């Protein structure tokens, strides 16, 4: 069902829980609150004070969080900790069939984990908002929101949730988790890899920077702002990432070979001395 369909033409106040309350979840929660939704959160770290200031009910205990009657639960853990967190959740505490939504940067991994562990009566929507606190600080208009309705029986509830993003002007892109990871390996993972390489090279601005070099510095700075855990997750849990790493290595060798061949061709002939 399209998020622009008539069933979601009007907003509905949603009871939304968030598992994992790091920077992205905080950024997302602030916008959900502005839209009038009721938010609850739980996390490994104690965000009680922050949540209190935002008007969010924070739970230290996962069981109590699941008992709090959320219609929708957003999973915003790190990629690397997803399996551990989900496996430890006491799903028997749920009071209703719930729509689970993951917002991780890889998609096949959370889909496989959640389909295996979630109770059968729970729906699953896999998503990737292709923006964050920095790129979305001035609004979400024209920013891409990818989603895959993996297991949806409560279509109206799913549509109401998608409307959260379409109503903010997001470009809504329905895509399979497999296709997302295939494309993300060639875009997001490759960008992070280049950024990390530039960081290892200690690339810094110079007084004679070209526009192209300034963009490279921006790629480096943007990449290192994210944790190495995120970068590791993009590599470990996207089966297409390893091939992209190999492609990058092969491409570098080809460029080096071409330069070496051209260098040999341009060498000045040795003039014998008489």
**pLDDT confidence of residue 266:** 76
The tens digit of pLDDT for each residue in 158-215 reads 999 999 999 999 999 999 999 999 999 999 999 999 999 999 999 999 999 999 999 9
This prediction has a pTM of 0.92
| Cβ(41)–Cβ(21) below 8 Å | yes
Q: How confident is the model at residue 86 (pLDDT cuts 50, 70, 90)?
A: very high
| Cβ(231)–Cβ(237) below 8 Å | no
φ and ψ at residue 139, rounded to 5 degrees: 120, 165
| Cβ(69)–Cβ(148) below 8 Å | no
Taking residues 99-118, what's their average pLDDT? 98
271 pLDDT exceeds 80? no
**pLDDT confidence of residue 234:** 98
Under DSSP, the state recorded for 203 is: -
**pLDDT confidence of residue 189:** 98
Nearest-angstrom CA–CA distance, 160 and 72: 10
**pLDDT confidence of residue 272:** 67
Q: How confident is the model at residue 253 (pLDDT cuts 50, 70, 90)?
A: very high
Domains, the chain, ordered by start:
15-175 (3.40.50.720), 187-266 (no CATH)
| Cβ(34)–Cβ(60) below 8 Å | no
Query: SS3 sequence, 116-175?
Result: HHCCCCCEEEEEEECCCCCCCCCCCCCCEEEEEEEECCCHHHHHHHHHHHHCCCCEEEEC
What lies within 8 Å, CB to CB, of 148 at 6+ separation is: 107, 111, 125, 126, 127, 174, 175, 176, 177, 180
The tens digit of pLDDT for each residue in 125-142 reads 999 999 999 899 999 999
| Cβ(238)–Cβ(185) below 8 Å | yes
Going 126 to 130 to 133 to 136, the CA torsion angle's sign is: negative
270 pLDDT exceeds 80? no
Taking residues 111-120, what's their average pLDDT? 98
């Amino acid at each position: 069902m399209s998020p622009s369909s008539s069933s979601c033409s009007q907003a509905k106040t949603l009871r939304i829980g968030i598992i994992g309350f790091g920077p992205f979840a905080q950024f997302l929660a602030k916008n959900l609150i502005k839209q009038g939704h009721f938010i609850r959160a739980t996390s490994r770290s104690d965000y009680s004070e922050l949540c209190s200031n935002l008007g969010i009910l924070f739970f230290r205990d996962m069981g109590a969080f699941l008992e709090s009657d959320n219609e929708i639960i957003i999973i915003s853990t790190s990629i690397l900790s997803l399996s551990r967190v989900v496996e430890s959740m006491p799903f028997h505490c749920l009071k209703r069939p719930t729509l689970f939504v993951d917002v991780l940067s890889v998609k096949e991994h959370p889909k496989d984990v959640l389909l295996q562990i979630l109770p059968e009566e729970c729906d699953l929507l896999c998503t990737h908002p292709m923006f964050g606190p920095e790129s979305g600080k001035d609004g979400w208009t024209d920013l891409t929101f990818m989603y895959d309705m993996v297991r949806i029986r409560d279509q109206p509830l799913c549509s109401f949730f998608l409307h959260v993003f379409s109503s903010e002007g997001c470009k809504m892109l329905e895509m399979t988790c497999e296709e997302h990871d295939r494309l993300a390996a060639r875009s997001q993972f490759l960008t992070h890899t280049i950024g990390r390489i530039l960081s290892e090279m200690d690339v810094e601005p110079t007084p004679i920077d070209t526009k192209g070099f300034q963009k490279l510095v921006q790629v480096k700075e943007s990449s290192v702002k994210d944790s190495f855990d995120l970068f590791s997750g993009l590599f470990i849990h996207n089966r297409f990432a390893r091939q992209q790493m190999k492609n990058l290595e092969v491409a570098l060798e080809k460029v080096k070979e071409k330069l070496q061949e051209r260098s040999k061709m341009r060498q000045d002939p040795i003039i014998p001395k008489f």
